[in-house]
Structure 1
Amino acid sequence: MVEIQPKKLIFTMIKTLTKPITFDDFIAQYPNIGGRYELHDGIIVEMPKPKGQHSTVTGFLIEELILTIIQMGKRGIWTIPRESIVKSSNAKSGYEPDIIVIDQKAIATEPRWASESIIECAESVKLIVEVVSTNWRDDYFKKRADYEELGIAEYWIVDYAALGGRNFLGNPKEPKLSIYQLIDGEYQVQQFSGDDIIISPTFSAFHQTANQIFQAG
């Protein structure tokens, strides 16, 4: 009899899965999967492996956001966790943002944070940042819609390589940083490119230009 290893079995399930799974089933499997996966409408999706510049841009933004948090006197109150899963309001999806800034006071009331690093309440989140990869449609369409519905106050899409569609980046396409601010339950967007100074509704002390971010490293 051939013994099937648990990890191999999970990868087989991911490849052959046709029936959506629940968020709780995804969380139960997650520690054994390995790599980086998200749940999209009940389907486990493997995230693209970040390339060098993607990682550099993400790291640069983390450093700048930490400095901004300190300058704003929020050190120890607003923090950037290493890992977290944001649960959609319909409980069909779970996302692991490239960067997330959380409010330590609000996160204390999250029932699954201490044991599973799960965020279910928008009040726990000050900012979510997605740095665009080849799966850009997820950032611009699906995640934007789910973050809006959940009530995330501020969401950045950092498209440093101009991978997104022309309806977002213009024609010809150019790198842009899009800031979505929740106003009356709907996202309003402001875009920055070139030498535009980033203007964040939440992080008023953040003064980098779009190009400083795009050209990091």
Structure 2
Amino acid sequence: MGTMTTLPTRHTWTVDDLDTMPDDGNRYELLDGLLVVTPAPSRRHQRISMRLGSALHALCPAGLEVLAAPFDVRLAPDTSLQPDVLVASMDELTERGLPTAPLLAVEILSPSTRLYDLNLKKARYEEAGCASYWVVDPGTDATPPSITAWDLQDGLFVEVGAAEGEQTLSVSRPFPITLSPAGLVGDQARRG
């Protein structure tokens, strides 16, 4: 997988600039005016995204919608993020994006985005009032996969649960769901 790139600039990028970006398979995001370009995700990343999106969709109550990247979350004129998976109120969604913080933003870590997802993006979602933020770590041959969940409490993200490998994570926001990191990452598709 390629590396994350930030493009140097003499000016602050805006969401209007995103409309001029090429349709080249890369993900283009803005964080406080900084353009961040990441390569297309790996197969493992996509597997996790699909399985997580399916699990959330199966339990999603009326009035909410589960979407996967690329889908713009425009938090400010100079900030447009694309969480790997999100849950938002259908009333707040437009055809082109979400003009406010989602109820849930999920990022799936990769070597090129790990620090960005765990620090800058997490802080920006917290500042914007995102109710819940989850990070899925696919793991490696030496480490098990994991998932960590934070909920916004008094304006700050507080860890509300974590699981690794075959353990399960149960959360109540944005709606009750129980997940196993191993179930999201496993190489074998579920059948039956």
* TM-score (norm: length of structure 2): 0.80
Structure 1 residues 81-109: Cα deviation after superposition (integer angstroms, max 9, x where no partner): 354212235x43211111111111344xx
Structure 1 residues 27-48: Cα deviation after superposition (integer angstroms, max 9, x where no partner): 3324x45322111332322112
**How many percent of aligned residue pairs carry the same amino acid?**
23
For residue 98 of structure 2, the aligned residue among 119, 134, 137 is 119
For residue 85 of structure 1, the aligned residue among 61, 64, 72 is 72
For residue 84 of structure 2, the aligned residue among 78, 89, 98 is 98
In the other structure, the counterpart of 2:155 is 185
Change in 2 beyond 3 A, CA 1:78/1:21: same
More helix by share: 1
Q: Is it true that 1:154 corresponds to 2:145 in the alignment?
A: no
In the other structure, the counterpart of 2:24 is 34
More strand by share: 2
Question: In 2, distance between residues paired with 1:85 and 1:50?
Answer: 16
The 8 Å contact of residues 195 and 211 in structure 1, kept in 2 or not, is answered as yes
Q: Is it true that 1:132 corresponds to 2:122 in the alignment?
A: no
Change in 2 beyond 3 A, CA 1:15/1:214: closer
Corresponding residue pairs, total = 180
In the other structure, the counterpart of 2:54 is 63
SS at match of 1:80: strand
Consecutive unaligned residues in structure 2, runs of 5 or more:
none
Q: Is it true that 1:208 corresponds to 2:187 in the alignment?
A: no
* TM-score (norm: length of structure 1): 0.72
SS at match of 1:207: strand
Question: Could you say what the CA RMSD is over the residues aligned between the two structures, in angstroms?
Answer: 2.6
SS at match of 2:103: strand
Query: Which of 1 and 2 has greater Rg?
Result: 1
Structure 1 residues 98-138: Cα deviation after superposition (integer angstroms, max 9, x where no partner): 1111111344xxxxx34xx232323xx22111111121111
Q: Which range is displaced more, 92-101 or 136-145? A: 92-101
Change in 2 beyond 3 A, CA 1:95/1:16: closer
The 8 Å contact of residues 127 and 153 in structure 1, kept in 2 or not, is answered as yes
